[in-house]
Each structure stands twice: as C-alpha cells, then as structure tokens.
Amino acid sequence: MKSAYTFHFFVPARLAGFMMLVMILVSCHETDAPMPMVERTYLFWTSVTDQAILRATLDVAGDAMQVDTLYTAVDGVRSPVSIVVDEAASMLYWADFDSGQIVRAPMEGKGAVQVLYTVPTYMRGPVGLTFDAVSQRLYWTQPWDDLILGAPAYPNGLIDTLLTADDGVDGSWGISLQADAGALYWVEYLDIELNRTWLGGAAVVQTLYAGGSGFLRPFSLAVQNGVLYIVDNPIPGTALPDRILRGDAGGGTSLTALYDIGVDNAYALAVDTRRDMLYWVNQLEEGSIWRGPVAGGTTPVKVIDRVRLGQGLAVATLRVKSNEL
C-alpha cells in the first residue's frame, strides 16, 4: 500500500516579501503585456444582393485567407454601392443608394453604423465615393442629378456642390482622387468621358479621355502615382470585350488594355500600392474578385467567388493587434 505524504516548506521571513514581489511582477507580465501590432492587408467590398459589407484578409501574394461579413441589413445596410477606407482611423465609409445615405463604421465590424449624410428624397443616389485622408473629406457622385458633391468625413458637416450639369456633368459615376495634386477624377457613362477638376479653386473641368480615346462605357476608375485605371464595359454587340484600361493622369498618353481575361461586367476596381496589384470586382456568374499586377502582361487570378452583385471595392493595409488577425 502506498503511503501519502504531506510536505511543508518553511520560508524565512526575510525572503517572504521578495517572493511576493516576484509573483506580482510575473503576474503583471502575463496579464498586462500589450499585444504586438502587425500589418495586415484587407480587401473590402459591398454586396447589394446580400445587403452586406465584407472583408477578406490577404496573404503576401494577395490571395484571400479568410472572409468575414462585417455589416448586414441588421445594421442598416440596404444597397451599398461604393466603399472607401480611412487607414489611419481604421474606419470604413460607404454609399448606400436605396437609403440615399453616406455612412461610416469601424473596419473591425464591431461598432455602430453612423449616418453622416442623407440625400433629399427628391434626388437619387449617391453612387461613386472617394476619400481625401489629408483634408478628411468625402466626395461623391449622384448620376441622375448630374452632381458631384463634397463634405467633411464626420456628421452634420456642410455639403458643398462642386459641379453640376451647368459645368458639363452628365451621368457622373465612378470617382477617384489624386490628393497630392489636388485633382478629382470621374467617369461619365452617358457622355462616355473621363474628366478632371481641381479642388480648392474655380470649377474648371478638363476632359482627358472621351469615347474616341478607346473606351465605350466606363463605370469606375482609380488613380495612383500618376496612372489612371479604368473599368470599361462595352455594350453587347460592339465586338469588344469588357476590359481594364490604363491611361495617364494628365491625359498625355493613349489608353491601353491591361486585362480582358477575367473581366466580366466589372464594376469597381482598387489598387494595392504596396504590392503594385490591381483588384476588380465582376458582377456576372454570381460575382467574383480578380487581381493582376498594375503593369499587366500576365494572366489575372481569381481571388474570391460568389460576391453577389458587388459594386464597391477597396484595399487597405492596416496595423492591427496580432490576436485580431
């Protein structure tokens, strides 16, 4: 039969205080040590069919490792049509067409959706949306009202009317910003134009590319490092495929086709400047997101399936806690 033993240890009084201090330091180290911060690149997109804002975590190649639904109809999402990211504040902004609202919410998907601006009921929109991180301002299009508007990226700011039909706006759709140059770009699917204006000055509109320049029905664009990227969806019967085109931010070069493979009724695009990678979202065949180098010259790769009527797309690299990956 085994015997049971009880061991008793004697701690001298002069050591008791020291041991207690060690235990306290170890305990604080184990419970209060801050989580290390890491960089992670995400894709954000909108799904009109699912009434949702979604996010994919990307690996080093630019492919999706994990997909999360951030906000849904329960949070007030109805028909989200465009989306942008404030990387410094980890904040998402999107335009909701049916509700006529510009809203914002934390990019982690853990906060409340806040309505910033609401379009009057006699108007339709908004559609295109872009964000100036320096001035903390949003700019958006209302195609059926022939308007381009701007406002602060916080509630109850003053909405400025930048351009109207009197300035030649006709069916403005996708919109993008080159902040360092103070230039705002947009495409018009009715006039078949890509135009530019300058912020902070007179409302001067410059047409950089028109229908004869090489596109037939532009819907979206992005501008990065002096280069324009354009989604072109020619009307069926024109004998031209849907394409991603490349041009010069000053209109100084001819448009060239980067991709037509993997472009199937593409609606929005985004540029990852860290990887020099271009992403776009297709609407046909239940929707998909594809990627390819900004320089073209290679076969694009499908990143995500079943996007379900995706209309907005953004890419951002954010610093997050390692336990939030």
Give me the mean pLDDT over the 40-49 stretch: 96
Looking at residue 282, its pLDDT comes to 95
Q: Which residue has the higher pLDDT, 149 or 238?
A: 149
In a domain, 14, yes or no: no
Please state the φ and ψ torsions of residue 73, each to the nearest 5 degrees. Answer: -60, -30
Confidence of residue 11 (pLDDT cuts 50, 70, 90): very low
Looking at residue 286, its pLDDT comes to 83
Confidence of residue 215 (pLDDT cuts 50, 70, 90): confident
In a domain, 288, yes or no: yes
Instruction: Note down the domain range covering 206.
Output: 41-324
Tell me: pLDDT of 246 over 50: yes
Give me the mean pLDDT over the 315-323 stretch: 78
Cis ω for the linkage preceding 126 (within 30 of 0): yes
Tell me: pLDDT of 22 over 70: no
Kindly report the CATH number assigned to the domain that includes residue 289.
2.120.10.30
Residue whose C-alpha is closest to residue 247's, from 281, 280, 221: 221
In a domain, 108, yes or no: yes
In a domain, 11, yes or no: no
In a domain, 248, yes or no: yes
Give me the mean pLDDT over the 155-170 stretch: 94
Give me the mean pLDDT over the 143-172 stretch: 95
In a domain, 31, yes or no: no
In a domain, 50, yes or no: yes
**100-128 pLDDT, tens per residue?**
999 999 999 988 999 999 999 899 989 99
Residue 256 structure tokens: 């060239």
In a domain, 98, yes or no: yes
CA 297 to chain centre: 25
Total domain count for the chain?
A: 1
Q: How far apart are CA 266 and CA 217, in angstroms?
A: 11
**46-82 pLDDT, tens per residue?**
999 999 999 999 999 999 999 999 999 999 999 999 9
Average pLDDT, the chain: 88
Tell me: pLDDT of 26 over 70: no
Looking at residue 200, its pLDDT comes to 81
Looking at residue 257, its pLDDT comes to 95
Give me the mean pLDDT over the 201-212 stretch: 87
